[in-house]
A and B are shown apart, each in its own frame.
Chain A
Amino acid sequence: EDKVVQSPLSLVVHEGDTVTLNCSYEVTNFRSLLWYKQEKKAPTFLFMLTSSGIEKKSGRLSSILDKKELFSILNITATQTGDSAIYLCAVGAGGTSYGKLTFGQGTILTVHP
């Protein structure tokens, strides 16, 4: 069974701090790893990574994938209160699970002013 594990489960920081969120996975027929941010309702797409070692970056957020060690990290620098959310890692697989995303349990990030 495909498995995605995120750590830490929750994190409390102050504005300006840098945070690192972790995602490890065990998936048959790995295709891609995605990061989403979920505030009140809909998860919003952040990054998709398919190749190892390539960093995806958008403003203060960046992510990298290590396909050999089966993990990814999401970095947020100079955090702001608007970064407070649940960050979800999901893995896309092939084979009989083609098109299915398996989500980790999420990291709850709270940024205090």
Chain B
Amino acid sequence: DTEVTQTPKHLVMGMTNKKSLKCEQHMGHRAMYWYKQKAKKPPELMFVYSYEKLSINESVPSRFSPECPNSSLLNLHLHALQPEDSALYLCASSQEQGMDTQYFGPGTRLTVL
């Protein structure tokens, strides 16, 4: 089983809203990732968690706040987003950080009005 699940599939929010994206994997992977993908562009890394600790933050604005409550779950808390933050947000996991085969979830399509 190489499944990574993400909820919700679609999200529309205003600039003053607070919302969260959720990601879950049950493969026993210890590294989890958030990527942002704009239309017709490749995925861009945002955060890496390794063993539930933040390992890499690619200089992401503080209006994006990641959280890893346990080894299977990864959240991305959103607050005061801008319309240019509208994108597909992909979660991925790998066995360990640096074991490069990452398995991706289906993504959350976010629209900020």
Contacts and interface: CB of A to CB of B under 8 A. Distances in A.
A42 B6 CA distance: 10
29 contacts: A31-B98, A31-B100, A34-B100, A34-B101, A34-B102, A36-B104, A42-B105, A42-B106, A43-B90, A43-B104, A45-B2, A45-B101, A48-B100, A88-B43, A92-B98, A92-B100, A94-B98, A98-B98, A99-B50, A99-B55, A99-B56, A99-B98, A100-B48, A100-B56, A101-B102, A103-B44, A104-B42, A105-B42, A106-B42
A43 B42 CA distance: 10
Given A41-B107, A45-B103, A101 B98 contact: no
Nearest to B90: A42
A32 interface: yes
Contacts of A103: 42-44
A42 B104 contact: yes
A53 to B, nearest CB: 19
- What's the dominant secondary structure at chain A's contact region? strand
Interface in A56-113: 88, 90, 92, 94, 98-101, 103-106
B97 interface: yes
Interface residues of A, number: 22
- Most B CB contacts (10 A, CB to CB) among A48, A94, A100 go to A100
Nearest to A40: B106
Interface residues of B, number: 26
Given A42-B105, A48-B101, A105-B42, 19 more contacts: A34-B100, A36-B104, A41-B106, A43-B43, A44-B104, A45-B101, A45-B102, A45-B103, A48-B100, A88-B42, A92-B98, A99-B31, A99-B48, A99-B50, A99-B55, A99-B100, A100-B56, A103-B44, A104-B42
Nearest to A94: B98
Interface centre among A43, A94, A99 (most CB of B within 10 A): A99
Contacts of A92: 98, 100
What 3 A-B pairs come out closest when comparing CB atoms?
A92-B100, A103-B42, A99-B97
Nearest to B55: A99
